[in-house]
Amino acid sequence: MRHLFATVAGKAVKAVARLRGGGSALPGLVAERIDPQFLPRTLGNLPRGVVVISGTNGKTTTTKMVVELLQGQGLKVFTNRTGSNFTRGVVAAVLGDSDVRGRLDADIAVLELDEAHAVHFVKLVRPRYSLLLNVMRDQLDRFGEIETTAGFLRQIAAATTDAVVLNREDPRILALANAVTAPRIEYFGLAPQLRHMFPHDDEMRNAVAAEVPGATPGLEGGQPEGPRADVVLTACEGSAATFQADGHPIEVELKLTGVYNVFNAAAALVLARTVLGPAVDEPALLASLQNVTPAFGRGESLTVNGQPLDLVLVKNPAGFRLALKSFPAAGSRTMIAINDNYADGRDMSWLWDVDFDSLRETGVAEVSGVRAQDMGLRLFYEDVPVGRVDTDLNASLHRFIADDPDSPKRIYCTYTAMLALRRELGKLTEVEVVS
């Protein structure tokens, strides 16, 4: 009875919140208060259980990939597609997809979870499978030390019952293997010649080593191969990628943008193959992978005045560096929008750990957001020309578009800046509504 009441009340709050244009987590708060066991009751009976995806970078896009790979195999998948990646956000997503009795029409749940909130979630619902992507210095004002973040992921690994998928190339993720109690561990990895393209956090502390192919500080001759990986990324150029799986090369042409998403695709392939087991339809799996489009705001490409406008989410040095490597500055006007709201992290000193030299030739047309002045100062010291610095996001966006309507455009933005820009762009062009 309590579960039914929680469902009805939560759905009512969700409907009101939607009419008022927000409140993705509020319905979850209401439902949890009424029935603290709402999630276990709803997710505990799914035939194939629950999958948790966590880590510092790439959660949203990787989750989207896994969902579409499993759907391509005929599974009905529930997911928290709004990107509200904490427990109340998951409850709110359940309220949106369940019937009035709180039942989900799904075979499996694939959930993106914030590292800290995932610890609370796995105490309520033990995942059958988990995928742990990476550990980077991100939002240290929330987490304190990077080892705290690794500790959160360790608890996810320990709570997983069937199989854990780990990033072989991240030493902090690799170290989580000794916490796994599940009977199976799988890995995704990189060929040695690609490791310099995806530096882990310790390499980010040593910019010289990060630029030397195959080099890892303190290890002459490069990083050891590590455990066998189920899927290895062996080549990538633009949207074309080659993976090695079970000793066989797999060549794909991805619709996803950004070199980091190519490596995320390796992670998604391993997790999907692990969940599906011997019944996997490999040709269908690859067809699904090739058709995945970017998650909202993560390399999402909109059309404004007949020209592409790319939204690229940035939230830490590693992500920003890889984004700048993934998208050539030439041929596009650039805008950078930096906020420091809670969801972005309040400490923006990490901007000084990003190299912006690739923007020197073309410059940045607009710098905006709450921390526009800080970003403008960072670019000044990098000798990057800046057209205008303005904390008013909407004014900057409209000027950015109007000043050169016939050019392709790209905006690098933090999370809350991205949400605000998408809302304003929705007045100018077709933007996918994520509710």
Q: What is the pLDDT of residue 119?
A: 92
Nearest to 128 by CA among 227, 285, 276: 276
Q: What is the pLDDT of residue 208?
A: 35
Classify domain 298-425 at the CATH superfamily level.
Answer: Mur ligase, C-terminal domain (3.90.190.20)
Enumerate residue ranges in the chain where pLDDT < 50: 5, 207-222
Q: What is the pLDDT of residue 25?
A: 64
Alpha helices in 21-58 (DSSP H): 26-34, 38-43
Q: Where are the domains of the chain?
A: 2-291, 298-425
- What lies within 8 Å, CB to CB, of 186 at 6+ separation is 163, 164, 165, 166, 229, 230, 270, 271, 273, 274
Q: What is the pLDDT of residue 209?
A: 38
2-291 CATH, one of 3.40.1190.10, 3.40.50.300, 1.10.357.10, 3.40.50.1100: 3.40.1190.10
Q: What is the pLDDT of residue 15?
A: 64
Q: What is the pLDDT of residue 217?
A: 40
